[in-house]
Structure 1
Amino acid sequence: MLVTRQSSLTGETNQLPGHVPDVRQLFPRLAEKWRVSPATKAQMVGFCDWISIYQQHGGNLPRFADGAVLRIDKNGEVVTTTLKSVKVEGSHESAIFIRCDGDTVRFDGNVSKFGRPDNVFGYSFIQCIGQINNILSELGLPAFTEGDRFMTNFKGNPRSVWTGARVTRVDITQNFVTGSKENAYHFMRFLAGQQASRIKTQTIGDGETVDFGRGSRNMYFKVYSKGPELRKHISGAKAPRTIPHLPGLLDVDPSLRKQPPSNDYLLKLADWCDEVGLVRAELTVKSTKLHALGCNYLGGYDMKQLEIEFEKACEVFTRASAEVEEITELPKHLLSTYRMWQAGDALPEKLSRATFFRHRKELLPYGCDIAIKSNVVPLKMKTRVIRLGPASQPEWYELPAITRKLNGTHS
């Protein structure tokens, strides 16, 4: 991509595509604010689930779509044509979506789960990109690449722009162990009574899933018990369906094409999740937030920025850190507010704004968030100490290795 007069920092048109001006010389006042540390794709927290990514290649590519949606005006003329992505189904309701209009290749899907009976443990971001490129290679489509970097000026601020692939959604996931199935249940009940920042808290099902920020254009955070989630899919486990005109696409594990995944293995895995009290935290970072973090280009993708956001979202886990043996140990002014909240009173109408937020801040360490409706389960007279720890996959867990394909061969 040539640096044009409109996108050039200096107004000249003779810069080469690979030329990167020194932003500190061009914008000395902004030099201290500019992130000069290199971006990284190395993932230190959890693994990735869903990824949405696309790249323009300049045309001359085969069209790859599952039909199209036409918009026709009143005169019967076709105004626009929108190609539909090809949906390839995997096991346990997993699916990936691929589309190419002859110029732009787009991929959407959970590649960590695709073609596997489960995704209790999965792959890092860079491994997922490698697996996605393997699939594109089998379809005769070009891989997603970083491209070249150049600088542009956006509203008086320097911006690093890449010619390669653009990322529009990333889901970061991490597993935690609570110690037992009972602890996992109580932990989820605790989360149901919390509020992250000012975003809405919602409980789904029988309290096995709690989410924060549903419908947000920036980020969406949810936590759920993995054991019950696995059991919901066991009875309906089936082999992936192969699309007739996509031969070989599901050959990641050929055995999955011949017979359904073993229920014995999934039941064993679900039992293990219950035994250790496995809960999963999942952060969906959407296009708006990726752009704000400077992570919307594959070339400039900085996993550290997303991990910081993930850790912020997980701060809701550690609110109830105070050692309280009985509810009567609360200070009198907080005990009165807690009793009103427990009874379902509308506290914003009974307390002044300043008092309401001050009491909320003081009650949060006890696991009580008066900003949301009282939970049907009252605060226990005795506190249950639940210690979250990292989850390590058992020795018998099946996680296929990722291989890189070059010209139809494995390396």
Structure 2
Amino acid sequence: MIDWLDFVIPCLHDPIPAGRVMSILPSGELEYDVPKRMQATGTYESKMWVRSQGGDGEGRATELYISGNPAKFLQGHNVFGCELVCDLAAGVVRKILDTVGISSDLTVAQALKGNFSVKRIDITRSFSFASRNEVKAVLSSLAIKSRSRMGRAQTSGGTVYHGKQSRRHTLKFYCKAEELEAGEKHKLPAELEKTPIKEFAETLLRAELTLRSKELIELEKTEGKHFTPKVLDALYFDYFGRIEMAAQAYIPSEEIKLLSRSIRDSYLLWKEGVDVRPMMSKPTFYRHRSELLPLGIDIALPNEQVECEIIPLFRKVTGRPVGIPDWAYQQGLVYQSRVGG
């Protein structure tokens, strides 16, 4: 699905009355004078930003800059959703322009043809696991064992990032169920609380690719028409394919201190190449193993056999890819193009 979209689309119109931001130098000279952006309200009070820009010399703006989450704006949630970029842009344009009283037909037609500039796009996929705990274990493993051309992973608030501060592209992983519980910004609207959406999200690992303007220019993917489903798939798996997973990992020293003494001793012996299985009872061994697995350590495998093995990400992240469930269409919980054309 498309989880974020920033785009600029041609639209000759009277500027949307959102106010202006001005800067005046100490000399009294006007440094800049730009229109402010305003929030447009979509489904279940979800928001996207919109701003008039450009000019025709007669007081009319020539473009709209639109930014936000099209899935939330059009259907009220982003647990699953459409990834037809042109259809989404057209739906967003229709809803925004109808709200502010600007004729939308010509601009919607341009959106459906893909005649708009893309400044940022977030492409996301979901993978289903047996439980939320398994999702969290996978995230722990990704945090410790994954690496890419941008180096090792960074973590923040339960999310695992590659290129978190990059101005070009970012890859991130997170537990969708925990995101829905992370506060007002992310929670489901009250109207959707009794639908199957929340239960569906319970076991989902979300893996998301953000492509920003500099990267899009280099890729020569700067227009809506460029983002066909085939291209989206190719981009997604190309970037995530650059992440590698170590078959085993070492636990950072600060985390070792948090382990119980017995678990710590088992780990340190294993790290030195000792087979710890004969040193304890079978139940104790499997208890220690189960506590270390979420950290990316399997003491059942000899350390010296696996410590240097590097494997592609999607051979290691073994969750089941999930799309839009049938019941979402039946219950009207997913946006389907209603703009015609």
Tell me the TM-score normalized by structure 1: 0.57
Match in the other structure for 1:389: 320
Q: Which amino acid aligns with 1:109?
A: G
RMSD of aligned alpha carbons: 3.5
Distance in 2, matches of 1:103 and 1:185, equals 47
Q: Which amino acid aligns with 2:133?
A: E
Distance in 2, matches of 1:166 and 1:271, equals 37
3-state SS of paired residue (1:387): coil
Q: Deviations over 1:367-399 (max 9, x none)?
A: xxxxxxxx993613247x862211144444342
Shift of 1:127: 2.4
Confirm whether residue 293 of structure 1 aligns to residue 293 of structure 2: no
1:73 paired residue among 13, 20, 25? 25
Question: Higher helix share goes to which structure?
Answer: 2
Shift of 1:235: 10
2:120 paired residue among 169, 181, 184? 169
Shift of 1:293: 1.1
Q: Which amino acid aligns with 2:3?
A: D
- Cα distance change, pair 94–136 in 1 and its aligned pair in 2 (3 A): closer
Q: Is the contact made by 2:91 and 2:339 (CA closer than 8 Å) also made in structure 1? A: no
Distance in 1, matches of 2:74 and 2:45, equals 10
Equivalent positions of 1:309-388 (< 5 A) are 309-315=235-241, 319=245, 341-342=250-251, 344=253, 377=295, 379-382=297-300, 387-388=318-319
Q: Which amino acid aligns with 2:153?
A: T
Match in the other structure for 1:50: 4
Confirm whether residue 271 of structure 1 aligns to residue 199 of structure 2: yes
1:100 paired residue among 52, 64, 83? 52
Q: Which amino acid aligns with 1:54?
A: V
3-state SS of paired residue (1:167): strand
User: Percent of aligned positions with the same letter in both sequences?
Assistant: 23
Q: Deviations over 1:138-175 (max 9, x none)?
A: 1415516669xxxxxxxxxxxxxx9x421111110111
Distance in 1, matches of 2:41 and 2:205, equals 26
Q: Is the contact made by 1:117 and 1:261 (CA closer than 8 Å) also made in structure 2? A: no
Q: Is the contact made by 2:71 and 2:335 (CA closer than 8 Å) also made in structure 1? A: no
Shift of 1:83: 0.7
Match in the other structure for 1:180: 131
- Cα distance change, pair 188–82 in 1 and its aligned pair in 2 (3 A): same
The runs of 5 or more residues in structure 2 that have no matched partner are 54-60, 255-292, 302-315
Q: Is the contact made by 1:146 and 1:299 (CA closer than 8 Å) also made in structure 2? A: no
- Cα distance change, pair 204–303 in 1 and its aligned pair in 2 (3 A): same
Distance in 2, matches of 1:379 and 1:235, equals 35
Q: Deviations over 1:197-241 (max 9, x none)?
A: 224521122x3x2111012121111111111111234798687xx
Match in the other structure for 1:402: 336
Q: Deviations over 1:346-371 (max 9, x none)?
A: xxxxxxxxxxxxxxxxxxxxxxxxxx
- Cα distance change, pair 317–293 in 1 and its aligned pair in 2 (3 A): closer
3-state SS of paired residue (2:295): coil
Please list every run of at least 4 consecutive aligned residues from structure 1 whose deviation after the TM superposition is greater than 6 angstroms.
none
Match in the other structure for 2:169: 219
Q: Which amino acid aligns with 1:105?
A: L
Match in the other structure for 1:132: 92
Match in the other structure for 1:228: 178
- Cα distance change, pair 191–378 in 1 and its aligned pair in 2 (3 A): closer
Distance in 2, matches of 1:67 and 1:282, equals 34
Tell me the TM-score normalized by structure 2: 0.67
Match in the other structure for 2:304: none
The runs of 5 or more residues in structure 1 that have no matched partner are 1-46, 148-161, 240-259, 328-337, 346-374
Q: Is the contact made by 1:99 and 1:105 (CA closer than 8 Å) also made in structure 2? A: yes
Shift of 1:77: 3.6
- Cα distance change, pair 182–113 in 1 and its aligned pair in 2 (3 A): same
1:197 paired residue among 143, 149, 152? 149
1:143 paired residue among 107, 111, 114? 107
2:191 paired residue among 261, 268, 284? 261
Q: Which amino acid aligns with 1:282?
A: E
- Cα distance change, pair 133–171 in 1 and its aligned pair in 2 (3 A): same
- Cα distance change, pair 174–299 in 1 and its aligned pair in 2 (3 A): closer
Match in the other structure for 2:280: none
2:79 paired residue among 105, 120, 127? 120
